[in-house]
Amino acid sequence: WFGDAITESEGGQYGRKIDLSFRWSMSWFIFSEVMFFGAFFSALWWARSHSVPALGSLENALLWPDFKAVWPSMAAGMTASPAGIVEPFATVGPFWLPTINTALLLTSGVTLTIAHHALVAGNRSKTIAFMWLTVLLGVVFLGVQGYEYYHLYTELNLKLSSGVYGSTFFMLTGFHGFHVFVGMLMLLFITLRLQKGHFSPDRHFGFEGAAWYWHFVDVVWLGLYILVYWL
């Protein structure tokens, strides 16, 4: 289907209504992704605002007398075992790997925007150059996140099984990393199409759709950076 859609689009067979249908389809797809991450952010909020305070209530004090109803259960970098239930682990703060990744994604959003403006202006060589730079930034982001996971597992003993903190941390950052990988593949595919001469200044929704998705991934990461690493 994708091959047929590309051939028909490059052949000028799509009119305004078809283009509009593609835009609506991509918009609804991104909306579904917003709901997807919204559910995970809601789980994080519920754990912090309701579950943890409930465990620290007077009734539960008899079960876990040493439990402290704070989030996270210890300061960043400190090692402890909440209520002695799971293996001791250390939490993670925003410095420095998460901050580096934030800079990488924000920069990739800028390079992608520059590439888009270059395409509209008819400067294909500049478009391709900045698209490759955007893809490279995505690859580096994933590399840094992979190194962060290795550091968390080997040095901080932070795992998916490290209580609600570990499960929500890896659930959110892991799924986001997967979306970065998907977005990077989309941008790579668009870049290869650009090198084949596809897209024109007035007909390039394939490019725009991939750009929408990448900017969405950027916004989700900003939420993660603030809510998971800072708060």
Q: Which two tokens stand for residue 93?
A: 């703060």
Report domain extents, the chain: 16-230
What is residue 10's predicted lDDT score, i.e. its pLDDT? 66
What confidence score (pLDDT) does residue 222 get? 96
pLDDT of residue 66: 67
Q: How far apart are CA 185 and CA 118, in angstroms?
A: 21
Over 169-214, what HEC string results?
HHHHHHHHHHHHHHHHHHHHHHHHHHHCCCCECCECHHHHHHHHHH
State the pLDDT at residue 128: 98
Omega cis (within 30) before 88:
no
Task: Tell me the percentage of the chain whose pLDDT exceeds 70.
Answer: 84
- Confidence band (pLDDT; 50, 70, 90) for 90? confident
CATH code of the region 16-230: 1.20.120.80
Q: What is the pLDDT at residue 89?
A: 82
- Judge contact between 42 and 58, C-beta under 8 A: no
**63-85: average pLDDT:** 60
Q: 3-class SS at 219?
A: helix
Instruction: Give residue 14's pLDDT.
Output: 73
Does residue 168 surpass a pLDDT of 70?
A: yes
In terms of pLDDT, which residue wins out, 146 or 19? Answer: 146
Residue pair 198/12 in contact (Cβ under 8 Å)? The answer is no
Q: What is the mean pLDDT of residues 64-85?
A: 60
Please check the confidence at residue 80 and state whether its pLDDT lies above 60.
no
Q: For residue 40, is pLDDT > 80?
A: yes
Query: Would you say residue 142 has pLDDT above 90?
Result: yes
Give pLDDT tens digits for 184-209: 999 999 999 999 999 999 889 999 99
CB 37 within 8 Å of CB 220: yes
Question: How high is the pLDDT of residue 31?
Answer: 97
